[in-house]
Chains A and B, each alone.
Chain A
Amino acid sequence: MASQNWATFVEFVAARSSALQRAAYLMVGDVGLAQDLVQEALVKTCGAWSRLRDPGAAEAYTRKVIATTAMGWFRRRAWSAERSSGQPPDRPAPGHADGVTDRAWLWQCLLQLPPRQRVAIVLRYYEDLSEAQTAEAMSCAVGTVKSQVAAGLAKLRALVGDELLLPPETHEVVTS
């Protein structure tokens, strides 16, 4: 990579790597994995830097690598014996639930979602991407994004109950 390209790439890493790591962490639920994931994605972004031109395109490219790689990792983990119990974690007992424990409990419930559903929810509700942008990041159709998000939210509601306050649009039943 030419020195000028390298300098702009380093600027991009300095400006956006924290945000990318946070999103990756929400997708995989593990700090170490998230760091590896972003490191991996940045290597690929670096290789493609000369044709990405602007930071916006670079971020979208990197995000796409992160999302698809995260889903790939999860596939391998499922293949190699890790399992999701399918059961919600124990909820804090009434009277002990404050904001912190509720958040922790909700986070554990989120981790119970299948990887594609969790990645879709993170991209839609943390990254604030449109359905079309989410589909681009996940390398899938918009309809798939809709169904993955709907299924994920339905499962979350089943796990945590209706008192979880979701953004209004997330209560829509989406079919596709």
Chain B
Amino acid sequence: MTESLKSLLVHQAASVAFKPPDLDAIAHGNRRRVRRRRAVTVLAAAAAVAIVASAVVALSSLDNRRPDVVGPLPTGAVSWAMGSTIHNGPDTIEVGHTVRAYVRTTVGFVTVDEADNVYSVTDRGVQQIGRAAAVPKDGREFVRLFSDPRGTLAGWVGTGPSEQTGLAMLVHDQATGQTRTFEAGGSGGAVFFAIDDRTAYWRATPDRVVAVDVDTGDERQLAGADVAGNFAILSVENGVLAFSRNYQPFGNVTSLRVGRSIDAAREFTFGENAEADDAMRLSPSGAWLSYLWFQFDGPPQHDKVLAITAQVRDTGTGELVSLNVPPGGLSVPIIWLDDTTLQVLAIGAVPGQVATQAHLYACRVPDGTCAVAVDLPAAALDGNALVLPTGRSVSE
């Protein structure tokens, strides 16, 4: 070898191309959004812990399998997926395609594969029910699925019945097997927010956030043109909405309101120099709110992450509930299994050390007790194969 270290560095640095810095963003001081989103992304990757390359290779060979007879249905058990297998409590379900993201309903699961195909997984088998459209976020594109785990509907942003119709909101009822298509228009991008029982929440056009009765098609406007751009619904359960009026697409949530209507909602704050990830969830009754909380070391010019904590709040009183997961690691709230039980991913790592184990816990509120529900293999901490029932892909 004749390469010196110096020439290697020079050659390597010259071998890649860079986009010029965004002067407009610099002028507006947008670094906080970029960096803090980056911090979340890194941690979200950890939250979406996955399995070693060898396991990925082994599992990829399963992709051509035919689906098993689908037996067990969601029962509120702790759930996770890897490759083409969904684990639901003690049961495993082979769905015949790589599960990129999935959600649960009372009837089964709805999944999306690597090609954006959407499937319904029920005791009637696995059936493709549509295609999801990737939507831009943080300079990348993602697909998301939505459902009410206590209902039978699942939804996603997809394409309409023809190429000309563009994006559409699609809602599938696993109880009937029917899919309804709601047209989305405008150039601002369609955003699906949530499903609560028979009501879906979305911004189909840039100037309106609406609640739609999926059965009748009746719409109720929640935000108009003056505020719709930064209005985001983060979770809806039992008619209780968690929403933000100043949501920034590249940032975390800095303020939040929870209530049964937009005008009569309680405001929650996260403390000085603190923010929350936007993947927050209300419990089925709306009594509790779970989210991942970030504490930074100061205002925007200082953005070292001091603490990251899984938090649960009583939405009636605002009081925090402490979850008794092992200290020193990273714990991420995933989904409510029932109104007082939260599925939590805990990664056993301490600052400066490599994480060596991950578990799925079932944590109960308000006492905060947690019990290990699933031991994920140590190898799960490499890669991006583990998928959790949030409707989001691991890479997001």
CB pair B301 A126 closer than 8 Å? no
Stretch of B123-131, B198-206, B348-356 at the chain-chain interface: B348-356
- A18-B18 CB under 8 A given contacts A72-B304, A81-B355, A167-B4: yes
Q: Is A39's CB under 8 angstroms from B26's CB?
A: yes
State which size class the interface on A falls in.
35 or more
Q: Is the CB of B38 within 8 A of A36?
A: yes
Asked if residues B352 and A79 are in contact (CB atoms below 8 Å), the reply is yes
Say whether B347 faces chain A, with CB atoms less than 8 Å apart. yes
Chain A nearest Cβ from B36, distance in angstroms: 11
Those of A7-63 within 8 Å (CB) of chain B: 10, 13, 17-18, 21-23, 25-26, 31, 34-36, 38-40, 42-44, 46-47
**Which segment of B27-35, B60-68, B180-188 sits at the interface?**
B27-35
How many positions in chain B have a CB within 8 Å of any CB in the partner chain?
50
Tell me if A164 counts as interface (CB < 8 A to partner B).
yes
With A80-B43, A163-B1 as given contacts, are A13 and B6 in contact (CB-CB < 8 Å)? no
Whether A26 contacts B12 by the Cβ 8 Å rule is yes
Contact of A81 among B14, B19, B26, B49 (CB under 8 A): B49
- The chain A residue sitting closest to B15, CB to CB, is A103
Q: A80-B42, A102-B1, A167-B5 are in contact. Are A36 and B20 (CB under 8 A)?
A: no
CB of A13 within 8 A of CB of B23, answer yes
> Across the two chains, which residue of chain A brings its CB closest to B39?
A76
Binding site for B on A (CB under 8 A): 1, 6, 10, 13, 17-18, 21-23, 25-26, 31, 34-36, 38-40, 42-44, 46-47, 72-73, 75-83, 97, 99, 102-103, 106-107, 110, 121-122, 125-126, 153, 156, 160, 163-167, 170
- 9 residue pairs of the A-B complex, CB under 8 angstroms, read A13-B20, A35-B19, A42-B26, A79-B330, A79-B349, A103-B8, A164-B1, A164-B4, A165-B2
Identify the B interface with A (CB < 8 A). 1-6, 8-14, 16-23, 25-27, 29-31, 34-35, 38-39, 42-43, 45-46, 49, 301, 304-305, 330, 347, 349-355, 381-382
